[in-house]
């Protein structure tokens, strides 16, 4: 199986779609709420001046800002929920994962890849980006001992739970290959 095949049902594509849904819900909700608010203002001023007979139109237009507001709030809550529950779910073992990259993120959102800096920094979050045969390339958060066990280019079995990497068991005595080559 080639390494860089495109699978529309992979975990990588599901995460991309989730992020797009959240972004579009919030963006469209904001635009609809603002546009509906403008229309609501326009028709309320027009009806108060008795220049426009807008009774039926006003009854419809008054709901547009509420719909936009609920879309925005729904996108916001969906994003918060998916962020809070990204490390939950059933544990599973993925075989033949290849480590593509590993790095840490500081509290001020600076990426650190030099391990000699780790002892001088506090509050680091460790991430490993893996490529699996079925899920594509996904970034997982992990603890420092798991991070240190994952060398770039290694092939092995990964135990994951949501977006959390619990352990990585590299295959021993493997021929060294370039990261972009197939499994």
Say if residue 136 is exposed, middle or buried (CB neighbours under 10 Å; 0-12, 13-18, 19+): buried
| pLDDT tens-place values along the chain, 183 residues long | 444 455 565 666 777 888 888 899 999 999 999 998 888 887 777 666 565 565 666 677 778 888 999 999 998 998 888 878 777 778 889 888 899 999 999 888 888 888 888 888 888 999 999 988 877 788 899 999 999 998 888 889 999 888 889 999 998 876 666 555 554
β partners of residue 94:
158
Q: Is 14 helix (H, G, I), strand (E, B) or coil?
A: helix
Long-range CB pairs of 81-90, under 8 A, 24+ apart, other chains included: 82/18, 82/22, 85/162, 86/162, 86/163, 86/164, 87/141, 87/161, 87/162, 87/163, 87/164, 88/161, 88/162, 89/161, 89/162, 90/161
Instruction: Report pTM.
Output: 0.65
* Half-sphere exposure in the Cβ direction for 60 (13 Å, CA): 3
């Amino acid at each position: 199986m080639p390494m860089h095949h495109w699978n529309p049902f992979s975990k990588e594509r599901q995460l991309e779609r989730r992020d797009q849904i959240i972004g579009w819900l919030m963006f469209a909700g904001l635009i609809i709420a603002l546009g509906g608010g403008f229309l609501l203002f326009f028709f309320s001023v027009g009806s108060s001046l008795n220049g426009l007979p807008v009774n039926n139109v006003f009854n419809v237009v008054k709901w547009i800002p509420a719909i936009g507001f609920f879309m925005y709030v729904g996108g916001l809550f969906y994003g918060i929920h998916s962020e809070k529950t990204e490390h939950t779910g059933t544990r599973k073992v993925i075989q033949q994962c290849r480590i593509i990259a590993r790095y840490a993120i500081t509290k001020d959102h600076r990426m650190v890849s030099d391990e000699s800096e780790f002892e001088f920094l506090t509050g680091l979050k460790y991430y490993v980006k893996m490529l699996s045969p079925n899920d594509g390339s996904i970034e997982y958060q992990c603890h420092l001992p798991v991070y240190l066990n994952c060398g770039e280019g290694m092939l092995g079995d990964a135990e994951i739970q949501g977006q959390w990497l619990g352990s990585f068991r590299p295959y021993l005595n493997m021929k060294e290959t370039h990261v972009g080559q197939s499994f």
